[in-house]
Amino acid sequence: MFKNNIYLLFPNRIKILMNKLLFLFMLVVFGLTTTSINAQQDAQYTQYMYNTISVNPAYAGSRGVLSVMGLHRSQWVGLEGAPRTQTLTLNTPIGDNERLGLGLSIVNDEIGPTDETYIDIDFSYTIPVSEEGKLSFGLKAGAHLLNIDFQQLTQFNQNDNLFETNIDNKFSPNVGVGVYYHTNKFYFGLSAPNLLETDHFDESTTSSDSDAVSFLAEERINYYLIAGHVFDISPDVKFKPAVLSKVVFGAPLQVDVSANFLLYDRLTLGAAYRWSAAVSGVVGFQISDSMMIGFAYDRETTELGRSQFNDGSYEVLLRFELFKKYNRMLTPRFF
């Protein structure tokens, strides 16, 4: 996605932010106006432990109930044109034996002049491999719509033909795969939710310069590893360490490590660390058997986090689950 690689110029603040945001500035200059092509990355989530289906299609139906989740993320609050992400997902098992799973994900990602929408359908098939363990295989099929409003950019060259025509609903397909193993206490997954490397470019450019390149960005494959384990500290306290790692060639390695405590099967308190990027606090509350609300706050550990214009990043989610009478959970599952 554009979020980690292509950034707009900040009008009236360039002099103030130049030293702290130089790498963002250089990405704009060289990513949009020269032959350099940058890798895109998928949206990131601090509460990834509740949003596994967004990165692994094999998770679909694994909770054994119809699960619907909405999430909003505002990143780098205070920076003009900062990323904002809205996510809506649902997934459910299908059939009496619940081996088939079906999911739907809709993600809208905005940053500066760009607005991207991802619509994905997930399928999974689960095989019992032990008395408690289940192994699921997943397939994702998706569509990507890209919009870019170049009028929102502060341009050095007002006559640059590359920025004359906006990009409206540019369509590109994608497919993904994943595997997911879980018991009641442990889970482990590997996935690549987007396997097609798509070049996004402006076909309408009329530049006569043969060296000019109209490419804006190239999507790269994102590889994910996710794992976690639940430990019973006492009858009323559960502890779950978890990790998510994302590998994208051409981009820095991302590793998220979290530790969460579930108290009395209702209140979740936790902390997380994104390697060389941010520290986070996480709070969740199980309002009822069917409904949960969660909140997370990130603070950057980089120079960006010390900027007077960055007030951190926020996430809020709401999950609703529909149970059948015979499969109502006695206690909410921790993942």
Residue 283 sits in a domain of what CATH number?
2.40.160.40
Q: How many domains would you assign to the chain? A: 1
Q: Are 134 and 126 in contact (CB under 8 A)?
A: yes
Average pLDDT of the chain, as a whole number: 80
Q: Are 318 and 286 in contact (CB under 8 A)?
A: no
Does a structural domain hold residue 203? no
Does a structural domain hold residue 214? no
Average pLDDT over residues 213-236: 82
Does a structural domain hold residue 294? yes
Enter the pTM of the model.
0.78
Torsion of CA 76, 224, 293, 115, to 10 degrees: 50
Does residue 269 carry a pLDDT above 50? yes
124-135: per-residue pLDDT in tens? 999 999 999 999
Does residue 26 carry a pLDDT above 60? no
Confidence class for position 156, pLDDT limits 50, 70, 90:
low
Sheet holding 215-219, edge to edge: 39-40, 215-219, 199-201
Does residue 194 carry a pLDDT above 70? yes
Does a structural domain hold residue 210? no
Q: Can you give the pLDDT at residue 85?
A: 95
Q: Can you give the pLDDT at residue 307?
A: 73
Does a structural domain hold residue 249? yes
Q: If you count DSSP H runs as helices and E runs as strands, how many of each does the chain have, helices first? A: 2, 18
The CA-atom distances, in angstroms, between 76 and each of 24, 35, 300, 307 are 13, 29, 8, 10
Does residue 288 carry a pLDDT above 50? yes
Domain holding 171, by residue range, is 45-153+164-196+220-322
Does a structural domain hold residue 201? no
Tokens of 55: 């990165």
Does residue 324 carry a pLDDT above 80? no
Confidence class for position 28, pLDDT limits 50, 70, 90:
very low
77-96: per-residue pLDDT in tens? 888 888 999 999 999 999 88
Does a structural domain hold residue 1? no
The better pLDDT of the pair 14, 93 is held by: 93
DSSP structure class, residue 313:
E
Does a structural domain hold residue 40? no
Poorest-pLDDT segment among 92-106, 149-163, 304-318? 149-163
Confidence class for position 327, pLDDT limits 50, 70, 90:
low
Please, which residues have CB within 8 angstroms of residue 24's CB and are 6 or more apart in sequence?
A: 7
